[in-house]
Amino acid sequence: MAEQPVSKQSAPSDDPARVAEFEARIARGETIEPKDWMPERYRRQLIRMMSQHAHSEVVGMLPEGNWITRAPSLRRKMALLAKVQDEAGHGLYIYCGTETLGVDRHELVRQLLNGTAKYSSIFNYPTLTWADIGCIGWFVDGAAIVNQTMLAHASYGPYARAMVRICKEENFHKRQGYEIMATLARGTPEQRAMAQDAVNRWWWPSLMMFGPSDTDSANSEELMRWGVKKKSNDELRQRFVNLTVAQAKAIDLTLPDPDLAYDEETENWRFGAIDWDEFWRVVKGDGPCNRERLAARNKAHDEGAWVRAAATAYAAKRERATEAA
Amino acid sequence: MSDERAAGAANGDSQWPLWEVFAQPPKGAPHEHVGSVHAATAEQALENARDVYTRRGEAVSLWVVPSQAITASTPDDMGPFFDPGNDKPYRHPQFYKVPRGVKVF
């Protein structure tokens, strides 16, 4: 039962018969567990995807943490604190799942801190006003729910189970965000304008969260074949748009896309072209806040060093005391 | 493990031993594996497990167990190891016939 990391030495060469057997298991809808044989490429893809996901949860705390001291009421402050704490928990659930693939969290954190790991580009955009916090809950957590609801059926057991846990908690995030937006939208003209401005800035980056279009996604085909993903980036993006249009209408805010139109035939909301140049620019490190986020994460890690050292020293002291007794 | 700790203390960045976490839900269900945490001591593992896995009253009891202390079956055992339980349909009630007239049994 224990999801211990599998030994790093056990990297059998992917002999075709075993791969076929593995793919047959996936096709039967079986769940792959940590000690099961898996193609090396499946393991690597999962480590990449899950660690990026975990890093995103951790970095996601930064733009919101900025606003905890400036939340407009105690109610909002409590909610935001709880949300940011959840994000830390979500990061830990997924790191724990990733470790079952035979990689140390230590190593993953190192890759995040030295800038070699990727995380969701959405967190490289700044949170300029309080409405941005509402918009993140509504759009960013909303988009995450669409993605994670799918991942809760992923073929790798520890990942799927972490997603189930996260999905249960994430609905609170989306609702608190939407409530902030609804409140601002029916407030003073200035508050309304602030809400609309946040929508204008966050809409397109939120659509980019689902990743490149299916035609340009390097990993999608393989991840779908191995049952890690059950839907393509474009399908998920469409689902998010379909859900969000009605929610925006209900609070009388306008999504910044003149091409947004309902297609009777497909029952989808068609939307305009995404600026993929911007997407790749931010992914490659040139977003508005890439450097700031990494610097903040490194600062927090460095400033926590004494806590880790103290806990280690305490454990060593206890061990000595036990040995002496 | 002590070596690991010493190395961690030297660079101020230990990830500590791994502990598996088991939580018992409030309604009398058995403890269930929920995930793992890193911690320097058992007490710290319990506290971390509380913060990570029970933020919404999900548990009335928590167990933490050093991951290394767990002995587990392996997927290769699947056939022979579990075999004895797989070929005994007479251990299930459906194996036995009940006369037609009996509706509630």
ipTM: 0.86
Decide if pLDDT at A118 tops 60: yes
CB nearest B12 (choices: A96, A99, A309) = A309
When mean pLDDT is compared across A1-15, A120-134, A245-259, the lowest value belongs to A1-15
Distance of CA A25 to the CA centre of its chain: 28
Q: Mean pLDDT of all residues in chain A? A: 93
Decide if pLDDT at A195 tops 50: yes
Task: Tell me which of B73 and A53 has the higher pLDDT.
Answer: A53
Decide if pLDDT at B2 tops 60: no
CB contact under 8 A, B70 and A162: no
CATH of A16-288, one of 1.20.140.10, 1.20.200.10, 1.20.1260.10, 3.90.1170.10: 1.20.1260.10
For chain B, the straight-line distance linking the first and the last C-alpha, in angstroms and rounded, comes to 58
Q: What are the two backbone dihedrals, phi and then psi, of residue A138, each rounded to the nearest 5 degrees?
A: -70, -55
A85 touches chain B (CB under 8 A): yes
Strand order through the sheet with B61-66: B32-38, B18-24, B61-66
Q: What is the largest CA-CA distance in chain B?
A: 78
CB contact under 8 A, B14 and A33: no
Say what the alpha-carbon torsion angle B7, A99, B39, A3 is, to the nearest 10 degrees. Answer: -130
Task: Tell me which of A199 and A66 has the higher pLDDT.
Answer: A199
Q: What is the largest CA-CA distance in chain A?
A: 78
CB contact under 8 A, A37 and B75: yes
Whether A135 and A177 have beta carbons less than 8 Å apart is answered as: yes
Q: Which helix (H) or strand (E) holds A40?
A: helix A40-65
Measure A271 CA to nearest chain B CA, in Å.
38
pLDDT digits (tens, 9 = 90+) for A224-276: 999 999 999 999 999 999 999 999 999 999 999 999 999 999 999 999 999 99
> Domain map of chain A by residue range?
16-288
CB contact under 8 A, A89 and B51: yes
State the average pLDDT over residues A38-61: 96
CA–CA separation, A259 and B77 (whole Å): 58
CB pairs under 8 A between A and B: 89
State the average pLDDT over residues A138-156: 97
Query: What is residue A299's DSSP assignment?
Result: H
B74 touches chain A (CB under 8 A): yes
The pLDDT of residue A8 is 41
The pLDDT of residue A231 is 94
State the average pLDDT over residues A117-140: 96
* All domains in chain B, ordered by first residue: 2-70 (3.10.20.520)
pLDDT digits (tens, 9 = 90+) for A72-86: 999 999 999 999 999
Give the pLDDT band (50/70/90) at residue B105. Answer: confident
pLDDT digits (tens, 9 = 90+) for A277-322: 999 999 998 899 999 999 999 999 999 999 999 999 999 999 899 8
The pLDDT of residue B6 is 41
pLDDT digits (tens, 9 = 90+) for B10-60: 444 568 999 999 999 998 899 999 999 999 999 999 999 999 999 998 899
A321 touches chain B (CB under 8 A): no
Q: What letters, b where the CB count within 10 A reaches 16 and e where it falls short, cover B40-72?
A: bbeebbbebbbebbbeeeebeebbbbebeeeee
User: With pLDDT > 70 as the criterion, what percentage of chain A qualifies?
Assistant: 96
Q: Which helix (H) or strand (E) holds A110?
A: helix A105-113
Decide if pLDDT at A9 tops 50: no
